[in-house]
Amino acid sequence: MTPSEIIGFVLMAGVAAYVQTLTGFAFGLLLMGAVGLTAVMPLRDAAVVTGVLTLVNAAIMMIRGWRDVLRTELVLVLCASLPTLVAGYFLLDHLASTGLIYLRIILGLVIIVSALQLVMPPRKEEKEATKSSFVFFGAFSGIMSGLFSTSGPPLVYHFYRQPLPIAAIRETLVAIFSINALIRLFVVIADGTFPKPVYWPAFFAIITVSLGTHMARRMPLPLSPKTLRLIVFVLLCASGASLALPAIPKALAWS
């Protein structure tokens, strides 16, 4: 990585952490989308770095909120997500080697669909969903975590439909994201695919992620939650479209 690429990545990670802390959503999507657009590193390596940075962001957020974690829902989701996380990781490994164009399309579509959750928040149900539903969404999130280190979208949609305290939902999601990120990191190390030393300067982003998280708590933007969600929605849609649209003609040409 060149000095300008390192600086750019570090700044992007700080902004993503700031947004994640304000919205409870979008850290991995924003960072992976930015990497896909700028090509500062391969998506497979970026997913590893994103996972490590997710752990940093989650650790800071969990210092105060771990007592609010919903333990039953946490166990259900993790039991379902961990096996599919491994499957998603090896699917990424295959696509990174044989179908990078398709990988860009998948990431772009995931970002766009996930962005819709910011402007179309799920409707609250009158009673909590069944245990099997948490298993289903947990399995889906595991695939996304394995692919892109972004297990959030399906779980955010499902959890925020539940008649549960917002603080408990937020802290439970953070706990799930951090555990998934940790397990994914173990899989990467066991598989021997940790990023090459040339990409290690990206881990300097730990500093900006910590700063971004603290700044969001102490100096939030003077915007309404609705306006903030709309801004993030536009950024995500633009990022997703920029990734997917140029790759579609190439994919069609290959088919």
Q: What is the pLDDT of residues 148-184, one digit of tens each?
A: 777 777 888 888 888 888 888 888 888 888 888 889 8
How do the pLDDT tens digits run along the chain, 255 residues long? 888 989 999 999 998 888 877 776 678 778 888 888 888 888 888 889 988 888 887 777 777 667 778 889 999 999 999 999 999 888 887 877 666 788 788 888 888 887 777 777 667 788 888 899 999 999 988 988 888 777 777 888 888 888 888 888 888 888 888 888 889 899 999 988 888 899 999 999 999 988 988 888 888 878 777 787 788 788 888 878 887 888 788 777 765
Can you give the residue range of the structural domain that contains 108? 3-254
Main-chain dihedrals φ then ψ at residue 53, nearest 5 degrees: -65, -35
C-alpha triplet 20, 26, 30: angle, nearest 5°: 110
* Proportion of the chain above pLDDT 70, given as a percent: 95
The torsion region of residue 120 among left (phi > 0), alpha (psi -120 to 50) and beta comes to beta
> 107-117 in b/e burial notation, b at 16+ Cβ within 10 A?
bbebbbebbeb
> What's the mean per-residue pLDDT of the chain?
84
In total, how many domains does the chain have? 1
In this prediction the pTM is: 0.80
